[in-house]
Chains A and B, each alone.
Chain A
Amino acid sequence: MIKAILIFNNHGKPRLSKFYEHYSEDTEQQIIRETFHLVSKRDENVCNFLEGGMLIGGSDNKLIYRHYATLYFVFCVDSSESELGILDLIQVFVETLDKCFENVCELDLIFHVDKVHNILAEMVMGGMVLETNMNEIITQVDAQNKMEKSEAGIAGAPARAVSAVKNMNLPEIPRNINIGDISIKVPNLPSFK
């Protein structure tokens, strides 16, 4: 079973956290910190598995992770999951995000939290793998978007118009907002090529 899915950047800022077991909010934050601590100190080219931290269940659990440019994708799983299978699942997740966002980067995860959660929900449910077929996942996501658009078309029109106007006047659209120490745009992730 997958206990938790965490995404954080190279500085340990959480970008997505999804827990499939209940922990208190404080514990969740501790788990994120502990996991970041464990994962971030590892070199590149070492293996993608390590024993879980104490908080998330100790030696029966594994952390399986991949590091893409500025982001770590970490799955905390118990012994009933295949390590390589989960590694592939992370790849499918990232490739799906990449297709949905067109060259996904860290900012997409920040500004579209809801979408990322939806995509993840199409793949993993209650800690179990729901769907692994990328086309199927994208079909579902597309269908949702269509529904959203059609609803927005009727009821949301005024709000969207206002938003569009505001966007026009906005000299810096989100993608170019000054975000300090973080690189703004990740060019194409090397692992997709």
Chain B
Amino acid sequence: MPAVSKGDGMRGLAVFISDIRNCKSKEAEVKRINKELANIRSKFKGDKALDGYSKKKYVCKLLFIFLLGHDIDFGHMEAVNLLSSNKYTEKQIGYLFISVLVNSNSDLIRLINNAIKNDLSSRNPTFMNLSLHCIANVGSREMAEAFAAEIPHILVAGDTMDSVKQSAALCLLRLNRTSPDLVPMGEWTSRVVHLLNDQHLGVVTAATSLIATLAQKNPDEFKTSVSLAVARLSRIVTSASTDLQDYTYYFVPAPWLSVKLLRLLQCYPPPEDAAIRGRLTECLETILNKAQEPPKSKKIQHSNSKNAVLFEAISLIIHHDSEPTLLVRACNQLGQFLQHRETNLRYLALESMCTLASSEFSHEAVKTHIETVINALKTERDVSVRQRAVDLLYAMCDRSNAQQIVAEMLNYLENADYSIREEIVLKVAILAEKYAVDYTWYVDTILNLIRIAGDYVSEEVWYRVIQIVINRDDVQGYAAKTVFEALQAPACHENLLKVGGYILGEFGNLIAGDPRSSPLIQFNLLHSKFHLCSVPTRALLLSTYIKFINLFPEIKPTIQDVLRSDSQMKNADVELQQRAVEYLRLSCIASTDILATVLEEMPPFPERESSILAKLKKKKGPGKLPDIEEIRKEKNANINGGTEPVNASTNAKASPPPSSDLLGLGGSSTQNAAPPASTGGSLLVDVFSENNSTTPPGSVRPRRGRELLQVCLQNLGRMYVFFGNKTSTQFLNFSSAVLNVHTKPADPTVEGGAQLQQILNIECVTDFMEAPVLNIQFRYGGTLQNIAVKLPITLNKFFQPTEMTSQDFFQRWKQLSTPQQEVQKIFKAKHSMDTEVTKAKIIGFGVALLDQVDPNPTNYVGAGVIHTKTTQVGCLLRLEPNTQAQMYRLTLRTSRDTVSQRLCELLSDQF
């Protein structure tokens, strides 16, 4: 008899579902659902008590509606009431509703906990199981607080039923996952280990899962499990297929348990005790031997479960990495699978071999399969398998086979799936660099890479090739020649143009002797592609041109003509316009010596870890990435260096702003790609000073070197502002003032080339939105100049961090509960969601970062007080990252609505 008889379906439910399925449109479906929701709501609210059957019917309807993706915002209370029913049917449907629909933050948890408590102590195994399931499904912190101490007792008590033990073990595992701090280790741990000897294999399986997870954090506590696990495994492996009766699955004895035991053993090094170690080796050998035996059944389930155990055994062998014979046998076994007709096995074999390739004992053995793997790359129909083949080729690559592997990867790249191209590009770039004996090969490879998959070549890759070419003079001539040839192609990728422009700008002279690549031809070749590229590339090419003026004085007039043309000089893009104007002036005024100094060849880059590697690591998974940090620092440096927003706004006028320093040009181009040498800065003052008549004093804009806001603890702040006169003439009647800020009056005269320091004492009178503006006035060459600069003073500068306990925090949080006091914003992350960086940003914001306040450890919680002259405003904040969606939710509660609003705006900008 089937366990569920067909006839007892609920008619109302059936009719409802078929109605929905007959709906012709989404609107009709929504309409029907709303009607049903209204109906259920009125039934729940009605005075007539519903019988179990009706309750069940309505809950099933709600589950169906929920499954279709509609919100269910009622019925929770009814579900909670069902929990306290004495009838199994009602209790069960209540628990079902809760485990599907109630999330861990629900207000109802307390009520649910009460019901669970009753069921847990009921001694009725069915009820106990239901309640344990509920805890495991919801797994909230409040539940952990209520039950984490009790469940271990249930688990190890002698009179607990087997099925309850199983549930208790997994329930505990779940709580340990969500709230590890609340699951106490204790005398129960040793008794849990002994569950590995239990009669009931279901109990053993659950206990093994639990121990494997706990042992990762507390290996010592569970050390004794190793010998028990080996003993158990040995008994399973050597048993006849009928011994374990129901736990034999398609002639394989207890495959799941074997897999779990082998996983557990991977938490530990090889056993030290020789006897145990011998027994384990025996087990592993038996498993490997069985793989060679003829199958006991033709069914796929038989080979599947047999191989599940085999792959886990191989993982353990690789993990131990100590028995050369076993490693080689494992490798041979995987080699067989590489050519198996089952796609799943080929996939898993490629995956396991990846880890095997890193072992010194088996690296050579893995390498023998190179042809098979390359073949897989070419012939596999399944992209997942091809992806694994790429991974394995990457893992087995060394100096001896690098050229072959890189060539095959490049080959494959031409037809590779779009989803994995970028990763292959990174891998090729890394291998080519790592195993390059001959750097001409490296240059060829990377140029090929750009040719084949230019769109997938990230900045890191082409930065790196330039770094290497600059640092190795033996390859520079070859690189110049090769890029020159590559650029001959009628259509070449912009990335190639970037590399080409940069390399020719540095080393074009090395090939200029050949009449086929004379300076003019080089220039014309680059310039013929100029108009087709994006702004950053054009900016880079302009730098190449000025470098050409230095390298090849004979084509200076041609280049000057280009720079002088309207399309450069009046370009709508400020960066391009600025470069054109500055480079043109530089080429007109500076002597050859100065030019040679300014435009000197780039010095070698400091040796450092390849940023490509960092990028690949990031792509493949989380981890600490020092290089990314570095890049970020570089970016910040650029921002501090020149193009601050304030400055940009002062010179965004139509007239060309021949601004001050070359270094600032790095703003939009990248650090590596900005050829101007750092020695240029001081010279430029001279360059422009000869040219007073046409220079509007935009160039004297105050260059705010560094603002130091020293005191943040009170409502007082102090700021130092430096004014530098970059011209040679005096500024007269100099003054600067900020509304409502005490300034020590500045010296009215600023000599040419001199710097002036002014101290601003700032007091926060009340909360404010707009940053104060510093008005600077001075007389220069007869005309009065007015410049307004926003000071980087924001409300959060007046924070005092406040440490508080979880209890205090929540108490205050609840006090600030009126709608005006809370401001919430949900927004997309603009930067990578790195925990450490986020923490630093929150602390930098001025509040104290509170640990272990939020039940969810991934959330950030902070508290601080803003001091103003009149009042103090307490502020609480909570930031919830969602890494899956790359979103943040920021909630601020303060006693003043304007403060909440402003702080939320300020802080949300940071992520």
Contact = CB atoms under 8 A, between A and B. Distances in A.
Interface of A: 1, 14-18, 20, 22-23, 25, 27, 29, 42-43, 45-51, 54-60, 80, 82-85, 87-89, 91-92, 99-102, 108, 110-115, 117-118, 121, 125-136, 138, 140-145, 147-148, 151-152, 155-156, 159-160, 163, 166-167, 170, 173-175, 177-180, 182
Contacts of A148: 88-89
B884 A113 contact: no
A44 to B, nearest CB: 11
B2 A126 contact: no
A138 to B, nearest CB: 6
B93 to A, nearest CB: 6
A142 B3 contact: yes
Nearest to B254: A132
Contacts of B307: 84
B4 A132 contact: no
Nearest to B88: A147
A143 B2 CA distance: 13
A15 B63 CA distance: 11
B901 interface: no
Contact of B3 (A100, A113, A130, A182): A100
Given A47-B382, A125-B167, A111 B259 contact: no
Contact of B9 (A18, A87, A89, A174): A174
Interface string B677-721: 000000000000000000000000000000000000000000000
A59 B621 CA distance: 7
Given A47-B343, A111-B13, A125 B136 contact: yes
B346 A47 contact: yes
Given A48-B344, A55-B885, A82-B259, A112 B4 contact: yes
A103 to B, nearest CB: 9
A104 to B, nearest CB: 10
A100 to B, nearest CB: 4
A49 B67 CA distance: 25
A117 B62 CA distance: 14
23 contacts: A14-B67, A42-B382, A46-B343, A46-B382, A57-B884, A85-B256, A88-B301, A99-B2, A102-B6, A113-B64, A125-B174, A126-B170, A132-B247, A141-B4, A144-B92, A151-B89, A152-B52, A156-B53, A159-B51, A163-B53, A167-B7, A167-B11, A182-B21
B166 A160 contact: no
With a 10 A CB-CB cut-off, give which of B64, B89, B173 has the most chain A CB atoms. Answer: B89
Which residue of A111, A135, A144, A182 has the most chain B CB atoms within 10 A of its CB atom? A111
Given A102-B6, A133-B247, A155-B51, A114 B11 contact: no
Given A88-B255, A100-B3, A174-B14, A17 B67 contact: yes
Interface stretch (B36-44, B199-207, B459-467, B592-600): B199-207
Given A117-B100, A121-B133, A151-B89, A45 B343 contact: yes
Given A84-B308, A126-B139, 19 more contacts: A49-B384, A59-B619, A83-B344, A84-B305, A87-B344, A88-B249, A111-B13, A113-B60, A114-B92, A125-B133, A125-B170, A125-B171, A132-B256, A133-B246, A136-B202, A147-B89, A152-B53, A159-B54, A177-B18
A74 to B, nearest CB: 14
Contacts of B882: 27
A57 to B, nearest CB: 7
A131 B22 CA distance: 38
A148 B709 CA distance: 72
B87 interface: yes
Given A88-B304, A128-B209, A147-B126, A180 B255 contact: no
A113 B126 CA distance: 20
B275 interface: no
Given A27-B884, A144-B92, A84 B22 contact: no
Contact of A126 (B60, B171, B619): B171
Which of B7, B10, B53, B301 gathers the greatest number of chain A CB atoms within 10 Å? B53
A97 B188 CA distance: 37
Interface of B: 2-4, 6-11, 13-14, 17-18, 21-22, 51-54, 56, 59-60, 63-64, 66-69, 71, 87-89, 92-93, 96, 100, 103-104, 126, 132-133, 136-137, 139, 163, 166-167, 170-171, 173-174, 177, 201-202, 205-206, 209, 246-247, 249, 255-256, 259, 263, 301, 304-305, 307-308, 311-312, 343-344, 346-348, 381-382, 384-385, 387, 619-621, 882, 884-885
Contact of B174 (A126, A140, A180): A126
B139 A84 contact: no
Given A140-B163, A170-B11, A23 B884 contact: yes
A80 B100 contact: no
A22 B382 contact: no
B62 to A, nearest CB: 10
A102 B1 CA distance: 8
A178 B19 CA distance: 10
B381 A46 contact: yes
A179 B21 contact: yes
Nearest to B266: A80
B173 A126 contact: yes
- Which of A84, A88, A174, A177: most chain B CB closer than 10 A? A84
A129 B60 contact: no
Which of B18, B52, B96 has most A Cβ within 10 Å? B18
B51 A50 contact: no
Nearest to B348: A83
Kindly list the 5 A-B residue pairs having the minimum CB-CB distance in the complex, ordered from nearest. A126-B136, A84-B308, A126-B174, A46-B382, A102-B2
Contact of B209 (A92, A129, A160): A129
B9 A112 contact: yes
Nearest to A111: B9
A16 B93 CA distance: 16
A144 B104 CA distance: 27
A166 B56 CA distance: 18
A84 B100 contact: no
A54 B882 CA distance: 12
Nearest to B14: A174
A159 B52 CA distance: 9
B67 A47 contact: no
A99 B3 contact: yes
Given A82-B308, A126-B171, A159 B11 contact: no
A84 B136 contact: no
B229 to A, nearest CB: 16
A179 to B, nearest CB: 5
Contact of B68 (A14, A144, A163, A180): A14
A114 B21 contact: no
B14 A177 contact: yes
B88 A144 contact: yes
A111 B249 contact: no
Contact of B205 (A42, A49, A132, A179): A132
Contacts of A108: 4
B69 A29 contact: yes
Nearest to A138: B3
Contacts of A112: 4, 9
A25 B67 CA distance: 10
B11 A179 contact: no
Contacts of B621: 58-60
A46 B384 CA distance: 9
A128 B67 contact: no
Contacts of B104: 22
Contacts of B312: 82
Contacts of A16: 67
A185 B104 CA distance: 39
Contacts of A92: 249
